[in-house]
Structures are given as C-alpha cells and as structure tokens.
C-alpha cells in the first residue's frame, strides 16, 4: 500500500514537470523572442565630414591695432594680466635676475638668445633674428614648434587677443624702439549682386 502511494506521488511530480515544459514550448511557439543585437537607446553620433585642418589665419594687424592709443592701452592692461602666467619662469623688472628663463624686461626688439648671463639652448642660438611684432607672435603661439629643441617648456598662447595683448605689454615695458609695421591692406568688399557674364560664342566661319 505504501509502495503504491509512493509511486502515485512520483507520477504526479513527473506529470507536473512535463506540464510546465509543454507550457513553455507552447508559449515560445506563439511568441517568438526577438533580442536585438545591440542595446537600445544608444546615443547615435553623426560622423562629421572632415575637410582637413583649418587654414591658418593671417598675422595680427599690429599697425592698425597699436595705432589707436585708447585701444592700445586696453591691450596693455589685458597683457599685464596675461603675463601673470609667465612670472613663475621669467622676471620682467629692469635689471632683474634671470629665472628658469631669461629676464624679459627688454625682450621686445632684442636679438634672440642675447640676454646676458642666461644659458640659452643651441636651438635658440641658432634661431637668429630679433623679437619684433611678428617674431614674438609666431613664437608665443607655439614655442616648441617655432624653435625645435628650445628649453622653454610652454605650450603657447593660442588665444589671439591674449597673445596680442601680451606683446603690447612687452612693448610697453621695453626701452627698445621698434617702429610699428604698416597697417595691412583691407580686403575689398565683394559687390552685392555681381554676376559673371560669358561673352557670346563666335560662330565658325562659313
């Protein structure tokens, strides 16, 4: 009697398991699971068409920017603020000592690698020229690019207004007189509505 009861319980358990399996198979047949290959709601970033590096802008028009006394004073004031990022390596006082870099009180108009008592790199000695408007502008944009091998570990001032302002400040504290360059010619405005007409074709000789 006990054996029969145990067999009944075992049979009931097997039937329940089979029933669950059949229900799962039937549900999968009716509803097909569809799992996407990629997770949903991923942000789509549109690829931008690359037209190569932007064309470099021309040099600042120092002849025009520095010719206006009021505008020049504003630039000098701004340049004095900008030069604060240089004081950890350079001294700007007349007769002041050299630091990690040379004293820059009279750097404007001074020949490159010429400040007494400072040991310049061979690259700077070989650079040549003097620190005028355009030379300073080029060097301060990216020192390591203009003078390969310079000891000056400074990335440069990429902001055009800050760089021009710093040059104005350096000029204001320098005893060297460097005449202003002539203002750059202004681009002629394009005539509105100008059209190009083609000459009528000449008929071939008959």
Task: Answer yes or no: is pLDDT of 180 > 70.
Answer: yes
For residues 23 and 149, the model is more confident at 149
Which H helix or E strand runs over 25?
helix 2-30
DSSP states of 66-88 as a string?
TTSHHHHHHHHHHHHHHGGGGTT
- Across the range 153-171, mean pLDDT stands at 96
Task: Answer yes or no: is pLDDT of 30 > 60.
Answer: no
The CATH fold of domain 62-173 = Cytochrome Bc1 Complex; Chain D, domain 2 (1.10.760)
Sequence spans of domains, the chain: 62-173
């Amino acid at each position: 009697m006990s054996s029969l009861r145990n067999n009944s319980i075992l049979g009931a358990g097997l039937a329940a398991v089979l029933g669950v399996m059949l229900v799962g198979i039937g549900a999968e047949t009716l509803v097909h699971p569809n799992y996407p290959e990629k997770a949903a709601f991923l942000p789509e970033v549109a690829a931008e068409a690359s037209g190569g590096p932007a064309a470099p802008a021309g040099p600042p028009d120092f002849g025009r920017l520095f010719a206006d006394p009021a505008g020049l004073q504003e630039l000098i004031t701004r340049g004095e603020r900008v030069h604060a990022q240089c004081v950890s390596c350079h001294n700007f006082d007349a007769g002041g000592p050299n630091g990690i870099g040379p004293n820059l009180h009279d750097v404007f108009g001074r020949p490159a690698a010429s400040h007494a008592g400072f040991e310049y790199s061979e690259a700077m000695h070989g650079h040549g020229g003097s620190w005028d408007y355009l030379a300073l502008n080029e060097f301060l944009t990216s020192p390591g690019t203009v003078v390969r091998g310079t000891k000056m570990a400074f990335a440069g001032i990429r902001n055009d207004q800050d760089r021009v302002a710093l040059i104005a400040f350096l000029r204001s504290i320098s005893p060297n007189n460097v005449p202003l360059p002539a203002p750059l010619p202004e681009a002629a405005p394009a005539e509105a509505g100008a059209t190009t007409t083609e000459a009528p074709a000449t008929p071939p000789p008959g």
